[in-house]
Amino acid sequence: MFQAIWRTTQPVLPVLIGITLIEVALGILMPLIGIQLARWGVSEIVVGVAASAYFVGFLAGTVVCQRIIRRVGHIRAFGVFVVLAADATVLHLVIQDAYFWIALRAIAGFSLAGGFVVIESWLNDKSTDETRSRIFAIYTAVSWGASGISPLLLNIDDPTGILLFALCTLCLASAMIPLGLTKIGNPVISEHTHLSLRRLFKISPLGVVCCFGAGFLNGSLYGLLPAFVDAMAMGERELSFLLLIGTIAVLIAQFPIGHAADVHGRRPIIIGTVTASALLCLIVYATPEMPYIFLLVIFFLLSAFQSPLYALGIGQTSDYIARKDFVAASSGLLFAWGLGASIGPSLAGVAMHELGSRALFLFVGAGYGLIVAFALYRVFRRKAKTPQEQGNYVAVPAVQGAYGAPELDPRGEHMPHVGARAMPD
């Protein structure tokens, strides 16, 4: 068994190490910036805009970065992207200004989008019909695991110091080392097409709404969570454990919720999980003196119920498209997710500024309520496919920064690249 795992991972080991280092940096940096801004006393609106700026840059990067990769190759382009992200990170220490930090977040989002495109193109190039599912699973586990555990590093130093920013910069710059030393040549670049949101909405309105809503609401919750924690007189220790328990819940929830969606159909599970998410958010909002241990339990349950929404949206859409169009549809839905994540945190910041810090959960809960209402509306508009007619659920890693790996998703048709030759010694 171990030999089979090694044979599968050996060709992609450099990029798996790279993605681990990037996700560690992101897992520290995203909450760290929120903590810093909150302690400076800036408004929740600014904190929300800073969270949105990352995803605005990320969306721009997914559109532009392929031109850079095509021009200079995967390895050189990856070096440019991670060094640019490292530069943007260390500049947080040089200029301590909230609005300058917003610009840095956009630059980081742009550059890391390019990094994820390189990584996932590489993974797709090295996968085959026989290994693609295993590579996808390993990539998903590495992404979620690194981004979930790394927030614990917030406890090793005062967030207002330089050590944590230096550690993030070191991780980002070091992500280039494994690819820089590999003797495997560049993958052949392929076009990363996507279906337009208008066409996707005609195919599956609920699928698009779920993917957009997942980005809109998850981006809001995680982007503004540091400001909420600070307003509740908690610190980085409490925040790090919230993020850790949330990641554990995501990992635990994927199989049972995915299995339930395959057995009972997408819509009932979407309605059930989103309703539970809305109610849990409203419980937090309605309980101002909630003990921290109860907040941990609620956040665990909330993360478990809300995390599969993006994958459920992709599954709902994929049930109505041809297999050959799946990658294009998945890329379009990823764009919908990123669009939501670009907008949501800014609006959530406004809600917190006007209604108080606990309004974050009122905002997110109301958003989930709207998705439930739309899902119920769709129940009466179109008959759902039976569980036997729909495809299988696949947990898709659209969290923190991952690009989504639409080409790696086992449900789509595998489009093999031309084999890359080894680089000369």
- Per-residue pLDDT tens, the chain, 425 aa: give them: 556 666 667 777 888 888 899 999 999 999 999 999 988 888 999 999 999 999 999 989 888 888 888 888 888 888 999 999 999 999 999 998 999 999 999 999 999 888 888 887 777 777 776 676 677 777 877 888 888 888 989 888 888 889 999 999 999 999 988 887 876 666 665 565 667 888 889 988 998 999 999 999 999 999 999 999 999 888 888 999 999 999 888 888 877 887 788 777 788 999 999 999 999 999 999 998 889 999 999 999 999 999 888 888 888 887 788 777 777 777 788 888 889 999 999 999 999 999 999 999 999 999 999 999 999 998 887 666 555 555 555 556 555 555 555 555 655 555 554 444 333 33
For position 315, what pLDDT does the model report?
A: 81
**234: buried, middle or exposed (CB in 10 Å: 19+, 13-18, 0-12)?**
middle
For position 94, what pLDDT does the model report?
A: 92
Contact 278, 368 (CB under 8 A): yes
> Measured between alpha carbons, how far is 181 from 277 in angstroms, rounded to an integer?
45
Q: pTM for this one?
A: 0.84
> Measured between alpha carbons, how far is 10 from 386 in angstroms, rounded to an integer?
40
**Cα dihedral 126, 127, 131, 136 sign:** positive
For position 335, what pLDDT does the model report?
A: 85
> Measured between alpha carbons, how far is 224 from 345 in angstroms, rounded to an integer?
7
User: Can you give the C-alpha Rg of the chain in angstroms?
Assistant: 21
> Measured between alpha carbons, how far is 100 from 111 in angstroms, rounded to an integer?
17
Q: Terminus-to-terminus CA distance in the chain, angstroms? A: 32
Contact partners, residue 282, CB within 8 Å, separation at least 6: 361, 362, 365
> Measured between alpha carbons, how far is 409 from 394 in angstroms, rounded to an integer?
8
> Measured between alpha carbons, how far is 192 from 331 in angstroms, rounded to an integer?
8
> Measured between alpha carbons, how far is 347 from 353 in angstroms, rounded to an integer?
10
- The DSSP secondary-structure symbol of 411 reads T
For position 350, what pLDDT does the model report?
A: 95
Alpha helix locations (H) across 232-357? 236-264, 266-286, 292-306, 309-318, 326-355
**Structure tokens, 173:** 């710059």
**198: buried, middle or exposed (CB in 10 Å: 19+, 13-18, 0-12)?**
exposed
For position 370, what pLDDT does the model report?
A: 96
**Structure tokens, 107:** 């630059």
3-state secondary structure of 357: coil
Q: Which residues pair with 422 in a beta bridge?
A: 184
Q: Kindly report the length of the chain.
A: 425
> Measured between alpha carbons, how far is 386 from 383 in angstroms, rounded to an integer?
9
